[in-house]
Amino acid sequence: MTGSERRDAIINEIRNSQTPVSGSKLAALFDVSRQVVVQDIALIRAAGYDIISTNRGYILNTSHAVTRIFKVSHTDEQLEDELCSIVDLGGKILNVMVNHRVYGRMEATLDIGSRRKVREFMEDIRNGKSSPLKNITSNYHYHTVEADSEETLDMIEEMLKKKGYLVEMEK
């Protein structure tokens, strides 16, 4: 087994383990010294993997968030309800996008994951800092929403549908 193959196998071993994997276990598994494992972990980190060393062994830090794009439409008066409804179910609104017939796709980062952030956003709108991007496309817009699971995104989709905000996307 080459060093590159061993590092790939180490990544898979750590990724597929439910518990931290000790350096000793990795050394025994691949018939190398613990020093070689330490060097391999350094090379794996340099390759961009977020390997965390704990007192029990190594773990791979991976994001468990999932995202989905929702096409929605609502009035200005319903804006706060839409945003609060999403964050109340555990969603984080990453952005707002519109497809303008002349200007094309326009997108703005929102990063709204709490009612406090919704309040701040709504304050800026009410104070006239700007108007909602949806207003230039007759209320139609898209949100990329992040959540901890597909189930949470399904709940958000159901809620948006129930409130009449969800617009079926063309396939």
Please report, for the domain that includes residue 18, its CATH number: 1.10.10.10
Residue 152, domain extent = 66-162
Instruction: Supply the DSSP symbol for 70.
Output: E
Specify if 169 maps to a domain: no
- Tens of pLDDT, residue by residue, the chain (171 residues): 899 899 999 998 998 888 999 999 999 999 999 999 999 999 999 888 889 999 999 998 876 678 999 999 999 999 999 999 999 999 999 999 999 999 999 999 999 999 999 999 999 999 988 889 898 999 999 999 999 889 999 999 999 999 999 998 765
User: How many alpha carbons fall within 13 Å on the CB side of residue 82?
Assistant: 27
Q: What is the reported pTM?
A: 0.65
Specify if 28 maps to a domain: yes
Tell me the C-alpha distance between 77 and 139, whole Å.
Answer: 11
